[in-house]
Structure 1
Amino acid sequence: MYPTTIRRLILVPLAAVSLLLAACDPHPKEWKTPNMTALTPRLQPLFEKTKTVCFGRFMVEVPASATVAWGRTIVPLDVTIYHDGVEEVKGLAQTFVDELKSEKAIYLNNIPLLISVDDMRQPEGQIVTGYDGFEAIGMLKISGYFKLNNDGVVIDARPLEEQKDETIADIKSMARRLRQRADDEAPAEPGNCIGHAFLPDKQNPTQDDLMEHIRIGFRLKEFPDAHFSIYVAPSNPHDPEGDSLQTQWKRIKEDPSTFEEKAALAKIRFFRESPRQIQDWKTGYEVLVRNSDEEHVHSYHDFQAKFTGVPHDPFRPYADIQFQTGVGDNAAGATKASLTDDEAVAVWDKITSTIRVRPTSSKPVKSADTGPHLPLGELAATGRICPQTGWWEHDAPRPAGGSRGQHIRAGDRMPHAVAIGEPSIWQKLKGERPSYRTGTVWKLVSYDDAPPLADMTVQPTATAQISSPDDLPKGASDPRLEGGRGDDIPSNKKG
């Protein structure tokens, strides 16, 4: 365990500084070549048979022999599917109840943390509610444990105490909508593909309902050190450029933080750095490099593409796509890379070129009546039903340069506000800004209409473009899929 930890600490700065090598040539020939890298004879059999994998609202083609590994899923509450795990989930429920019974809330007259255990018939299961730790005052832990035929389901939330009833209703709604899904099934209705299951959308989903975080990874059987991962999440409406790979690369290039970063530049091989487009998803940027051999770390490929996305558009979200070789014990560089440079680029091009929106038959979302009925200045707290369509502003501290305003429709739940947390050292290095959601009070400031929501009907489209210039144990997931942007958001009301 210790050597692996040290290796990861070494890799993080290397991955960051690897983006700097592009300074050598601002317009390399590779940027101007729109053609995908051809598969070598050794790779051609790998892609003779492929399978379509549905994840979230998207699809991708991978080799038929590839193993799929699901990471943390929030849609908009945390949900985990335990394949053939009904008894395992029953055990988890009992363990949670026992833990809550055994502890007391020291600031609430030492009452037990357990508040209630509610049984459900459809689907079969129970919802357990308790205080979130012995020091808790207003925070709860609510978890639903359900049977979905032969699969077990756990839905977790960490709401405020006043949101208890609303959160339980959301857990029940998710549990009743969930259905099993074959691994090769890509449903034609709107909703999210998750591990072994599908969650159809509500009839009239709100922006809070669309706070979706999907993580999925693929391991190539023929090249077990090669790992591919995709993470999609809501685009940051306050600072989308804060998630830009191009901006991060420019910042580090212009002002390397340490001597070690500067020294690493001369050892890193650069293949491609350019804008990236998938369908009309035009906010992408990709960087393809190979890190050099270091002490205790083999040379490995580190490819990444990031899309800043379009705020409030579930079909063009933020995305972080990565491909690494030399992976062992879930750490890149732990073993020797089995792919050559050309082969690694070819695999990257082949898989990323197939990412696309899953076609559905849904209709455009109708806008609510926007006629003024309540006076400006009307107040409504997070979690309450919105009484008036219009522009609302919250009173919570906002990110620098961010807006407090949001258009909310009558009948929707008043959403949480987004606040910016303190970044870690590595987040500062990479230019990432962790965010979290918080309850607040909203004030009606205008009756103006919002721009109409995008037509959610999706047609089969062309594949991705480069701009010119199941072998895992039951319930297992790839730890490398658990991190990333958005993990600072508590799994309370809406992911």
Structure 2
Amino acid sequence: MTELTANLKTRCVGRYLVDIPEDALEYGYAKIGGVDIEAKAMTEDAWLQEVAQREAALKATKSRDAYPFLYATGNPRGEKTYYFIHRGTIYEAPNRRYIEGYKWDRGYRFLLKVKTYDYTRPDRSSDPIVKQFDVKNEVPAKTSLVFDLLDKLRGRAKDEVPTEPGICFAGGFLPGKATDDQYVSGGFTLTNYPDVAFDVSVDTEPQGNTSLLQRTDSPELRAMLKAADGSVIRKGTVGLPGLKAEEWLSEGRRPGGGRGDSFSLMVNETTSAPSSPYFALDMNTGGQLEIQGKLVKLDKGEAVALWDSVSRTVRIRPGSL
């Protein structure tokens, strides 16, 4: 266990920091204003090839009706950005639109996607359902949002911790003050212990009035724990500087017959807002995993020690809000 906890490195997720074992592999994405954003390490040449192949595929797709499939393409924010507006698939309705944005920056390719509609092309404004819509064509507003995100997004190495306001996600950083409708999902898998995974969620939206400890005390969850032949290792409030946090640690049977751990930490769960984003950290172990003939497994004591070393480092990134 010393090898895991001796070399923790600070990682930025959302507007938070958490210290994770140095060799952990990171994954994740962001969702801003309904736009999904992912970053992938890639050379500029590979990015150019990907965009060219995507454009060729979209241009070659023919609609099953009289209306276009591909509506727009171009460089909205310079040569290292590109976008498409299209129908999605040949089976989509003629008023459906999908906007894709691409950007290459500092060794990372960004891909942005959002689903929207245009009931003015073809015109369905007389449809009783469409009449109830305040906005008949969402494409201009969604396109503007995608272009704005393309303008601001920048590539970020996993060990880079920004000092300005903004959101971190795997491979990327979006500068800006905290607002509602900002979500980041991420996680880390351990290279030498592939049955161990950390999952992280950060959200500025309200999460409801029920806390982690209240949910885990419900009859439904107690029944699930009993069915898994499980037990609670520890539960309670956690004293993190300036944060309201609760944790719940359990152990039980896993699919396939092995046993494993499920640990959770929730921060600002009942007070989530742009000024106090919700943060959830989960650690799961697969119990028994055989790799190249060797059984890989953390025992309960090792799992708790790793959890304590990581979960107690959670804090708001200075200057992030």
- Smaller-chain TM-score bracket: 0.7 to 0.9
Q: Name the counterpart of 2:277.
A: 317
Q: Are the aligned partners of 1:235 and 1:308 in contact in 2 as well (CA < 8 Å)?
A: no
Within the alignment, does 1:264 sit opposite 2:223 as a pair?
Answer: no
Aligned equivalents of 1:248 and 1:150: distance in 2?
43
Match of 1:250 among 217, 220, 242: 217
Inter-CA distance 130–280: structure 2 relative to 1 (3 Å threshold): same
For residue 152 of structure 1, report the CA deviation from its aligned partner: 1.9
For residue 98 of structure 1, report the CA deviation from its aligned partner: 4.1
* Alignment map for 1:308-347 (pairs within 5 Å): 309=269, 313-326=273-286, 338-347=297-306
For residue 351 of structure 1, report the CA deviation from its aligned partner: 0.1
For residue 75 of structure 1, report the CA deviation from its aligned partner: 3.1
Q: Are the aligned partners of 1:146 and 1:153 in contact in 2 as well (CA < 8 Å)?
A: yes
Q: Name the counterpart of 1:179.
A: 154
Q: Name the counterpart of 1:290.
A: 251
Match of 1:119 among 75, 79, 82: 75
For residue 123 of structure 1, report the CA deviation from its aligned partner: 5.2
Q: Name the counterpart of 1:219.
A: 189
Within the alignment, does 1:46 sit opposite 2:4 as a pair?
Answer: yes
Cα deviation per residue 1:291-345 (whole Å; 9 max; x = unaligned)? Answer: 1366x2211112122346355623533333211222789xxxxx96622211111
For residue 159 of structure 1, report the CA deviation from its aligned partner: 2.4
Cα deviation per residue 1:233-291 (whole Å; 9 max; x = unaligned)? Answer: 23336x342xx3333323335884xxxx48526x3232112233533332x43221111
| Structure 2 residue identity aligned to 1:347 | L
Q: Which runs of 4+ in 1 moved over 6 A?
A: none
Q: Are the aligned partners of 2:67 and 2:94 in contact in 1 as well (CA < 8 Å)?
A: no
Within the alignment, does 1:155 sit opposite 2:112 as a pair?
Answer: yes
Q: Name the counterpart of 2:314.
A: 355
Aligned equivalents of 2:145 and 2:24: distance in 1?
32
Structure 1 window deviating more from structure 2 (310-319 vs 158-167): it is 310-319
Aligned equivalents of 1:104 and 1:67: distance in 2?
44
The structure where strand makes up a greater share of residues is 2
For residue 104 of structure 1, report the CA deviation from its aligned partner: 5.0
| Structure 2 residue identity aligned to 1:297 | G
Q: Are the aligned partners of 2:288 and 2:295 in contact in 1 as well (CA < 8 Å)?
A: no
Aligned equivalents of 1:310 and 1:254: distance in 2?
20
For residue 51 of structure 1, report the CA deviation from its aligned partner: 1.3
Aligned equivalents of 2:14 and 2:117: distance in 1?
27
Aligned equivalents of 2:29 and 2:221: distance in 1?
35
Q: Are the aligned partners of 2:29 and 2:170 in contact in 1 as well (CA < 8 Å)?
A: no
* Alignment map for 1:25-424 (pairs within 5 Å): 43-64=1-22, 66-76=23-33, 77-104=35-62, 109-120=65-76, 122=78, 124-133=80-89, 134-161=91-118, 162-201=137-176, 207=179, 210-236=180-206, 239-241=208-210, 244-253=211-220, 256=223, 261=224, 264=227, 267-282=229-244, 284-292=245-253, 296-307=256-267, 309=269, 313-326=273-286, 338-360=297-319
| SS of corresponding position for 1:159 | strand
Q: TM-score, normalised by structure 2?
A: 0.80
Structure 1 window deviating more from structure 2 (245-254 vs 348-357): it is 245-254
Aligned equivalents of 2:66 and 2:58: distance in 1?
12
Aligned equivalents of 1:251 and 1:285: distance in 2?
16
Q: Are the aligned partners of 1:100 and 1:112 in contact in 2 as well (CA < 8 Å)?
A: no
| Structure 1 residue identity aligned to 2:69 | L
Q: Are the aligned partners of 2:225 and 2:252 in contact in 1 as well (CA < 8 Å)?
A: no
Inter-CA distance 170–123: structure 2 relative to 1 (3 Å threshold): farther
Cα deviation per residue 1:59-99 (whole Å; 9 max; x = unaligned)? Answer: 111222x2232223223422222212434433443444344
Identity %: 23
Aligned equivalents of 2:219 and 2:116: distance in 1?
38
Aligned equivalents of 2:222 and 2:192: distance in 1?
40
| Structure 2 residue identity aligned to 1:144 | G
Q: TM-score, normalised by structure 1?
A: 0.54
RMSD over aligned Cα atoms: 3.0
| Structure 1 residue identity aligned to 2:249 | L
Inter-CA distance 263–62: structure 2 relative to 1 (3 Å threshold): closer
| SS of corresponding position for 1:218 | strand
Cα deviation per residue 1:423-475 (whole Å; 9 max; x = unaligned)? Answer: xxxxxxxxxxxxxxxxxxxxxxxxxxxxxxxxx4xxxxxxxxxxxxxxxxxxx
Inter-CA distance 297–308: structure 2 relative to 1 (3 Å threshold): farther
Cα deviation per residue 1:133-168 (whole Å; 9 max; x = unaligned)? Answer: 433243310011122143322111112332222222
Inter-CA distance 95–236: structure 2 relative to 1 (3 Å threshold): farther
For residue 354 of structure 1, report the CA deviation from its aligned partner: 0.3
| Structure 1 residue identity aligned to 2:266 | K
Aligned equivalents of 1:72 and 1:179: distance in 2?
14
For residue 189 of structure 1, report the CA deviation from its aligned partner: 0.6
Q: Are the aligned partners of 1:102 and 1:112 in contact in 2 as well (CA < 8 Å)?
A: no
| Structure 1 residue identity aligned to 2:300 | D
Q: Are the aligned partners of 1:298 and 1:336 in contact in 2 as well (CA < 8 Å)?
A: no
Inter-CA distance 137–58: structure 2 relative to 1 (3 Å threshold): same
Which structure 2 segments of 5+ residues have no match? 119-136
